[in-house]
Amino acid sequence: MKKEMRYFVWASVLMIILLALPAWAAPKAAPKAAGVAGPLKVGMVDMQKILRESKNSLKVRTAFMKDVEKKQAAIVAKEGVIRKLEEEFSRLEPGAMEARKKKGEQIKHEMRELQYLREDAEGELKRKEMEITQKVIGEIMLVVRNYARGERFTIILDRMAVITAEESIDITDRILKLYDQKK
């Protein structure tokens, strides 16, 4: 589970960076006329904290882990079938060549199916995790944008992109509360 959580966190960071790249690479607008622009208002959000602690993220992660457990159960069941076949194979008489050959082929077939099952489960879970992460991050980003617009922030940065900052500009808890209220 820790491996899946770590993967979920890293996938989230990657998605945040990919979503923010166009904004960072966009050409800068010409400065407004003197006296028209208000004071610079900067905020900072810890997206990882929101992904870890929000009720919606926890609900989504719980549902995802149930899928992981189902896939693992299917794999364990297939491994049990293979163990049973191997036990049957070991009980066969050494002289029963035809029966040993048939059982050996059956074991090979089941092993291939197990490998395919593992590969399919891994690919499907990775794809599903990416979809879930993109969806949750998109929802969080929408809340952040609406909050920034309403509170007239000039810029809001992700904590991962900031080396040091005053804690007073951290709006993570407000965003977390708004996101949980939205869901």
Domain positions in the chain:
41-182
Cβ proximity of 137 and 16 under 8 Å = yes
Q: What is the per-residue pLDDT for 25?
A: 47
Quickly state the pLDDT bin for 36 (edges 50, 70, 90). Answer: very low
Among 9-18, 29-38, 106-115, the least confident range: 29-38
- Alpha carbon distance, N-terminus to C-terminus of the chain: 25
The whole-model pTM stands at 0.65
Q: What is the dihedral of CA 144, 145, 147, 151, to 10 degrees?
A: 130
**How far is Cα 137 from Cα 85, in angstroms, rounded to an integer?**
46
Summarised one tens digit per residue, pLDDT across range 41-54 is 999 999 999 999 99
Summarised one tens digit per residue, pLDDT across range 141-179 is 999 999 999 999 999 999 999 889 899 999 999 999 999
Summarised one tens digit per residue, pLDDT across range 51-109 is 999 998 899 989 999 999 999 999 999 999 999 999 998 888 888 888 889 999 999 99
Q: Is residue 39 within a helix (H) or strand (E), and if so which, with residue range?
A: none
Architecture in CATH for domain 41-182: 2-Layer Sandwich (3.30)
